[in-house]
Amino acid sequence: MFRSNRRRIVLKSREEIELMRRAGQIVARALDEVRRHTRPGVSTAELDRIAEDVLRRHNAAPVFKGYPNPHPGGPPFPATITACINEELVHGIPSPHRVLQEGDIFSVDCGAYYKGWVGDAAITVPVGEISAEARRLLEVTEQALYEGIAQGRVGNRTEDISAAVQAYVEAHGYSVVREYTGHGVGRNMHEDPQVPNFGQAGKGVPLKAGMTIALEPMVQVGTWKTRVLDDGWTVVSADGSLSAHFEHSFAVTDGEPDILTLL
């Protein structure tokens, strides 16, 4: 497992990383546009259309649309963003019938292909005024992402990233999801190595300059366990507690980690 994992890691040149940054910036624009349109009364299908318009305007294509279902026999994903409300964690399908309400939290994940390279990022956005608990969940999850990225440097291993995410989240009393993980990213959305949001410092694959990783803490107020709804896609917390999700794609360099999905 470890050996095959390491064999399939693709290091990127500086030029390739710049192309990935272009893809990542298009994703960041799409997410920013979705954030600015997130309000009570808007449907998740409208927000999906807004994101897809941004991608098309920049000559980029959605990665998620038509993406094969990870669960055996399930349908391919039908949209540009995944749209998740409250206890929904990841892979929610946008719908004209899902309308955001005051007090919801809304998680949106988006992937774009640009000139053969993938950008992948996610944010969780408050809808109007949200509860103090929901706000704290968003702050902890976003900060956990940056705690993890800060460990993404030469000399460390993948699980140094994982352990930093887990420690930060658990110190705040929340749970990190086990079944879905961060991942290498490049010409494909999912490449090696896997980067879980839990692990033991000092373990995993040695980080090298040119590795590009999509780190994506998924955090739940209650249990770390999840289940999949009957639509074959939407993952929810098993206990119905609130879930949040933030993601950036970044490059390991000889110096500081280089986040590729910033505006």
Q: Return the number of the residue (87 or 120) whose C-beta is nearest Mg ion.
A: 120
Q: Return the number of the residue (83 or 239) whose C-beta is nearest Mg ion.
A: 83
CB 112 within 8 A of CB 21: no
Q: How far is the CB of 183 from Mg ion (least distance, A)?
A: 6
Residue 104 interacting with Mg ion (CB under 5 A): no
Q: Return the number of the residue (104 or 109) whose C-beta is nearest Mg ion.
A: 109
Size of the site for Mg ion (CB under 5 A): 6
CB 63 within 8 A of CB 151: no
Question: Which range, of 28-36, 38-46, 220-228, 245-253, touches Mg ion by CB under 5 A?
Answer: 245-253
Site for Mg ion in 26-65 (CB under 5 A): none
Q: Which two tokens stand for residue 156?
A: 């460390």
DSSP string for residues in the chain: -HHHHHHT-----HHHHHHHHHHHHHHHHHHHHHHHH--TT-BHHHHHHHHHHHHHHTT-EESSTTPPPSSTTPPPP-SSEEEEETTEEE-PPP-TT-B--TT-EEEEEEEEEETTEEEEEEEEEE-SS--HHHHHHHHHHHHHHHHHHHT-SBTBBHHHHHHHHHHHHHHTT-EE-SSS-EEE-SSSSSEEEEE-SS--TT-SPBP-TT-EEEE--EEESS-S-EEE-TTSS-EEETT---EEE-BEEEE--SSS-EESS--
Q: How many CB atoms lie within 10 A of CB 69?
A: 14
Q: Return the number of the residue (161 or 214) whose C-beta is nearest Mg ion.
A: 214
Residue 109 interacting with Mg ion (CB under 5 A): yes
Q: How far is the CB of 63 from Mg ion (least distance, A)?
A: 9
Question: Which range, of 8-16, 24-32, 142-150, 244-252, touches Mg ion by CB under 5 A?
Answer: 244-252
Q: How far is the CB of 218 from Mg ion (least distance, A)?
A: 10
Among 16, 52, 104, 120, binds Mg ion (CB under 5 A): 120
Q: How far is the CB of 112 from Mg ion (least distance, A)?
A: 10
Q: Return the number of the residue (131 or 194) whose C-beta is nearest Mg ion.
A: 194
Residue 214 interacting with Mg ion (CB under 5 A): yes
Q: Phi first, then psi: give them for residue 161, nearest 5 degrees.
A: -65, -50
Q: Return the number of the residue (109 or 191) whose C-beta is nearest Mg ion.
A: 109
Q: Return the number of the residue (66 or 128) whose C-beta is nearest Mg ion.
A: 66
Contact pattern from residue 162 through residue 201 relative to Mg ion, giving x for each residue in contact according to CB under 5 A and a dash for the rest: ----------------------------------------
Residues of this chain that interact with Mg ion (CB under 5 A) are 109, 120, 122, 214, 216, 247
